[in-house]
Chains A and B, each alone.
Chain A
Amino acid sequence: MNASIAGKEITVNEEGYLTDFNQWNEQIGESIAAEANITLTPRHWEVIKYLQNEHKSQVALSIRRVGKSGVVDIKEFYALFPNAPLKTATKIAGVPKPASCI
């Protein structure tokens, strides 16, 4: 479906995840973050860039993998993106929601 985020027409799925990463930009990320009541700091951006790189390399994301990334530990990940960090952070990053149970 179509959505207008940060003044740009983009396509998202029914959960609000971008379906085409090429449509993503930082303003869209900030706008999705604001919806989740998150103000993005440089630490947030480091995590977001990491998630985007992992997605580009087609790595399946999980909480465990993020925790072992060396970019952020699990505790900080939950602190940066409270309430469902992996789901929220990937949505902001414009990458698909990970189908992970761990």
Chain B
Amino acid sequence: MENNNGKIRKMMIILSKGTLENVYAAFVLANGARMEGIEAEMFFTFFGLEAIHKKKLEHLHVATVGNPAMHMPTMLGGLPGMESLASMMMKKEMEKIDMPDVHEFLDILSASGVKLWACKLAMDMFHYKKEDLYEGVDAIITVGDFYKQSEGEGVHMLMV
């Protein structure tokens, strides 16, 4: 094996969840890689697809149930409107720190050269079509294709 001195050349980021906090974490990691001169590709699978679904990406929520860091009793988190309220509050804070919304973030990622891949299996499962997706999505690919993309030295894979 060639020695590349541990340098990270490319980040492969898999997003399988559709909660706002997971989506942002994945986006910040991908964008942050590009900012450091590291290549980045994202694979959207299962609920992660919501982040690139045109009609759903504007309506992502933070998880108020099953999220101990919310410091909210589970029963309360399950009440109608709680998720929207928590999400609204979080979005407000994000705007304050110059964090773009999901659509604008996708524009930034796409313009920065981040490859955006949709998982074929999950697309079939949710009956989504290519035209349902954000226009900057590069293609719908299989997990095998994604591994093929990940070949080479200095490539790291991360699941969010």
A and B: interacting chains: yes
**Within A62-102, which residues are at the interface with B (CB < 8 Å)?**
62-65, 67, 73-75, 78, 82-87, 100-102
Given the known inter-chain contacts A74-B108, A78-B113, please indicate yes or no for A84 contacting B36, CB distance below 8 A: yes
* Interface size in chain A (residues, C-beta < 8 A): 19
CA distance A82 to B38 in the complex (A): 10
Given the known inter-chain contacts A62-B98, A64-B98, A64-B100, please indicate yes or no for A101 contacting B32, CB distance below 8 A: yes
* Chain B positions near chain A (C-beta within 8 angstroms): 28, 31-32, 34-37, 98-100, 104, 108, 111-113
Given the known inter-chain contacts A62-B98, A102-B31, please indicate yes or no for A87 contacting B111, CB distance below 8 A: no
CB contacts (< 8 Å) of B112 on chain A: these are 63, 74-75, 78
Given the known inter-chain contacts A62-B98, A101-B28, A102-B31, please indicate yes or no for A74 contacting B37, CB distance below 8 A: no
A-B contact list, 23 entries, CB within 8 Å:
A62-B98, A63-B31, A63-B112, A64-B104, A64-B108, A65-B98, A67-B111, A73-B111, A74-B108, A74-B112, A75-B112, A78-B34, A78-B112, A82-B37, A83-B37, A84-B36, A86-B35, A87-B36, A101-B28, A101-B32, A102-B28, A102-B99, A102-B100
Contact at B111–A78, with CB atoms within 8 Å?
yes
Of chain A, the residue at the smallest CB distance from B39 is: A83
Give the most central of A64, A75, A86, A102: most B CB within 10 Å: A102
